[in-house]
Amino acid sequence: MTKSQIEDLPKNPIEAQGLLIKAFYEKFGKEALPLIAEVCKKQGHALGLKIKQKVSDNRLSTVANAFSKSYNPDDINVVEVSDTKFQIQGSKCPFGLENTSKELCEAVMEIDAEYFRTAVSKDLKLKVIKTVAAGDKYCDTIYSF
């Protein structure tokens, strides 16, 4: 393999999943978004069930703090954590969705949205304010009641 081919390889399973999602989206366009969202939602539900068993309670602050520990602190900024709101900003998409589309980001973010709905409450809402997928300089997401 050439150096260029090696640099193009995914560095972890999340990047590999992102490559597959992007390829699927590029081939099928917006028609693929509901299917991508549905599969990502199932993944989020499974992850939410796992974290629910590991944390001491299901408050948003508890689950948000556990969630935040799974990311590189160089790539994220936790803006606010409370029992009613969790706001996080990120400089890099773990799936590599930079400069694709906000709609694709929102479909993939069903992983995180369902993670929190499963672990905390079905009433929890996710709002994607900014996203590197749409070309923004950083992602800005809020989970709230």
Residue 124 belongs to domain spanning? 12-144
Q: What CATH number does the domain containing 42 carry? A: 3.30.1380.20
Q: Is residue 46 one of the residues assigned to a domain? A: yes
Q: Is residue 117 one of the residues assigned to a domain? A: yes
Yes or no: say if 48 and 114 are a contact pair by the CB < 8 Å rule.
Answer: yes
Please, which pLDDT band fits residue 95 given cuts at 50, 70 and 90? very high
Q: What is the pLDDT of residues 129-145, one digit of tens each?
A: 999 999 999 999 999 99
Q: Is residue 65 one of the residues assigned to a domain? A: yes
- Predicted pLDDT at 73: 84
Q: Is residue 140 one of the residues assigned to a domain? A: yes
Into how many domains does the chain fold? 1
Q: Is residue 97 one of the residues assigned to a domain? A: yes
Count of CA atoms in the C-beta half-sphere (13 A) of 53? 5
Q: Is residue 1 one of the residues assigned to a domain? A: no
Yes or no: say if 141 and 87 are a contact pair by the CB < 8 Å rule.
Answer: yes
CA dist 60 → 11, 84, 125 (Å):
30, 7, 12
Q: What is the pLDDT of residues 2-45, one digit of tens each?
A: 666 567 789 999 999 999 999 999 999 999 999 999 999 999 99
For the segment 76-100, the average pLDDT, to the nearest whole number, is: 95
Provide DSSP, 6-49. Answer: HHTS-SSHHHHHHHHHHHHHHHHGGGGHHHHHHHHHHHHHHHHH
- Predicted pLDDT at 70: 84
> What's this model's pTM, rounded to 2 decimal places?
0.91
Question: What letter represents residue 19's amino acid?
Answer: L
